[in-house]
Amino acid sequence: MPLVAHSDLPTFEHLREQGHELLSLDRAVHQDIRELHIGFLNMMPDAALTATERQFIRLVGSCNRIAQFFVYPFSLPELERDADTRAYIDRHYSRFEDLKEHGLDALIITGANVANPALELEAFWKPLIEVVNWAESNVTSMLCSCLATHALLKHFHGINRRPLPDKRWGVYSHRAVVPHHPLLREINTRFDVPHSRYNDISHDQLAEHGLKVLVESEDGGVHMAVSPDQFRVVYFQGHPEYDYNSLLKEYRREVNRFLDGELEAPPPFPENYFPEPAKRVAARYVDQAIEHKARGARPPATLEHQIGPMLDNTWGDTAKAIVNNWLGLVYQLTDLDRRGQFMHEVDPDDPLGINKAGQP
């Protein structure tokens, strides 16, 4: 079912140009179809703000449930922004106070950049927890990505993330540990997920606090877990929303950091991502970049153009299927009359009936 282009958010027009079906607000209000209202807390830094916005909204729009999806991006004023990004947010994003007043069915929370050794020291910590505390009682489910996963696991369960020896960066093969779980219904039992992070929360840490690991990798660690009630909070450590070239863009930024003197050596290749021809192109590019740097110049911006056609997206279909399952459960469990509250016959501590029955 289509997204509803209920505002002038540029992402809506971008998705329409890519062939996605969108309804105008006028058409939507004249159709007798159930609505789902989804908040999207975008905490990503300026350079990734709109790309992340498009990626998650596209996943929602790929859902095949019979519903109209209203997605409301919002951010936190405490996050540092440049003037252009702040103007974009002021024009196109919702205010949390307004969303609280009107209500939401579900909430997606992205990652963020951090500058402090403890998450509680970040400027966004208190406003993020304000949003989360409200959502805990007022939306059916929260879906968290990367840093948001680490923040909510710290807030709800006191779990501290641990630094990795090296950045976990690349595309890793994963297995569905609990393939019968409703969130994993009808997906491949083995599939890829991109990761890009310096910190980790392990299977043992999650299990110790009663959380259920659903998807993990021998090399990439845990990707997906759920709160003890199996659904109210869904945690991603990986980035299933990534475009085929998202890691390539990160690699190019790391090369630029090396050229600017922020890194002592050129970055490694993202693991399991560049095919051999792409590695050769990237290596030549770095050599040329070093030569240009010695002459006080920048290399031509050809890296993405050369390598992009060599890359594959091996995770997108599974990401769509999982988000489809998530929204399908939100659809089933959200009360038609009291948005964001569970139906009277649903146990809020076990909404899917898994903990009691052992099977969904």
Task: Supply the CATH number for residue 199's domain.
Answer: 3.40.50.880
- Same domain, yes or no: 292 and 325: no
Domain boundary among 273, 288, 310: 310
- The residue annotated as part of the active site, out of 53, 122, 216, 241, is 241
pLDDT tens, the chain, 360 aa long: 567 788 889 888 887 887 666 767 776 565 657 889 999 999 999 999 999 999 999 999 988 767 889 999 999 999 999 999 999 999 999 999 999 999 999 999 999 999 898 999 999 999 999 999 999 999 999 999 999 999 999 999 999 999 999 999 999 999 999 989 999 988 999 999 999 999 999 999 999 999 999 999 999 999 999 999 999 999 999 999 999 999 999 999 999 999 888 999 999 999 999 999 999 999 999 998 888 888 877 777 889 999 999 999 999 999 999 999 999 899 888 854 444 444 445 677 788 878 765 554
- Same domain, yes or no: 155 and 271: no
pLDDT of residue 20: 66
- The residue annotated as part of the active site, out of 63, 146, 157, 181, is 146
- Same domain, yes or no: 271 and 334: no
- Same domain, yes or no: 124 and 203: yes
- Same domain, yes or no: 238 and 317: yes
Give how many domains the chain has, as a whole number.
Answer: 2
Catalytic site includes residue 239: yes
- Same domain, yes or no: 184 and 281: no
- Same domain, yes or no: 196 and 222: yes
- Same domain, yes or no: 279 and 217: no
Domain boundary among 274, 295, 310: 310
Q: Three-state secondary structure along the chain?
A: CCEEECCCCHHHHHHHHCCCCEEEHHHHHCCCCCEEEEEEECCCCHHHHHHHHHHHHHHHHCCCCCCEEEEEEECCCCCCCCHHHHHHHHHHCCCHHHHHHHCCCEEEECCCCCCCCCHHHCCCHHHHHHHHHHHHHHCCEEEEECHHHHHHHHHHHCCCCEEEEEEEEEEEEEEECCCCCHHHCCCCCEEEEEEEEEEECCHHHHHHCCCEEEEEECCCEEEEEECCCCCCEEEECCCCCCCCCHHHHHHHHHHHHHHCCCCCCCCCCCECCCCHHHHHHHHHHHHHHHHHHHCCCCCCCCHHHHHHHHCCCCCHHHHHHHHHHHHHHHHHHECCCCCCCECCCCCCCCCCCHHHHCCC
- Same domain, yes or no: 73 and 51: yes
- Same domain, yes or no: 103 and 64: yes
- Same domain, yes or no: 186 and 55: yes
- Same domain, yes or no: 214 and 323: yes
- The residue annotated as part of the active site, out of 195, 239, 250, 254, is 239
- Tell me the residue range of the domain where 280 lies: 246-310
